[in-house]
Structure 1
């Protein structure tokens, strides 16, 4: 089971790690998009979210307080869904569908991150292939 959880952690975190790198490498372009969606202080927000994505993703992959890493990713996903993919504001049917899909993707990823938070917090030190145990104990 430990190996399957490790593979799952890596595969789940890949999306967040690559997105975090993109936030830091393509800050100007991403900040332009964020500003177009009405996000104030877009450049600092993009830089902060990039660091948040990297911290959460690395935490999961390395197994260093993986429960905290999962929480960080959930903290990213839910506001991103609402702020960046407000499909209910779109008048064009095609854009509305695209934004709704992106919204639901972010909500689903946030839900999965919450499940990982619960899993790591509950499994504790019984889960192998991690560097540290969980930060939280939800038993």
Structure 2
């Protein structure tokens, strides 16, 4: 079963690694979208979220304080869902549907990250194929 947990962790982390790369390499281009949502300092927010995703994803994938990594992903996902994908503010049906899909994706991924956080906190060192045990416990 340890290999299944490892494969699941890696697959889960891949989405965040790709997004982190985009956030860090295209922060200036992505800043306009952030600012269009009414948030200040778009480029700094994009870089900060890229770092959160990168650290969280690497932590989960490699099993280095994976509980902390999962928590970092939750810290990224929940505010992002509400601030960047506020579908209830959209009047255009197509835009509303797209934002609702993105909102639900972020909330669902946050749920998965919370489940991983719980798994690592409960199972501790029994979760195999990790470099460290949980930070929280």
TM-score (norm 1): 0.97
Tell me how far apart the structure 2 counterparts of residues 16 and 38 of structure 1 sit (CA, whole Å). 24
Spell out, residue by residue over 1:9-57, the C-alpha distance to the aligned partner (whole angstroms, 9 max, x if none).
0000000010001000011111111011111111111111100000000
Partner residue of 2:16?
Answer: 16
Q: Does 1:122 align with 2:134?
A: no
Matched with 1:72 is 72
CA distance in 2, matches of 1:131, 1:64: 5
Task: Please name the residue that 1:27 is paired with.
Answer: 27
Map residues 82-97 of structure 1 onto 2, 5 A cutoff: 82-97=82-97
How many pairs were matched up?
Answer: 137
- TM-score, normalization: structure 2? 0.99
Name the residue aligned to 1:47: 47
Cα distance between partner residues in 1 of 2:133 and 2:124: 6
The separation in 1 between residues aligned to 2:17 and 2:121, in whole angstroms, is: 22
What is the match of residue 6 of structure 1? 6
Q: Secondary structure at the match of 2:128?
A: coil
Aligned to 1:56: 56
Structure 1 runs not aligned, ≥5 long: none
**Aligned counterparts of 2:25 and 2:37: Cα–Cα separation in 1:** 20
**RMSD (Å) for aligned C-alpha atoms:** 0.5
Give every structure 1 segment of 4 or more consecutive aligned residues whose post-TM-superposition deviation is greater than 2 Å: none
| Whole-angstrom CA distance in 1 between matches of 2:120 and 2:85 | 29
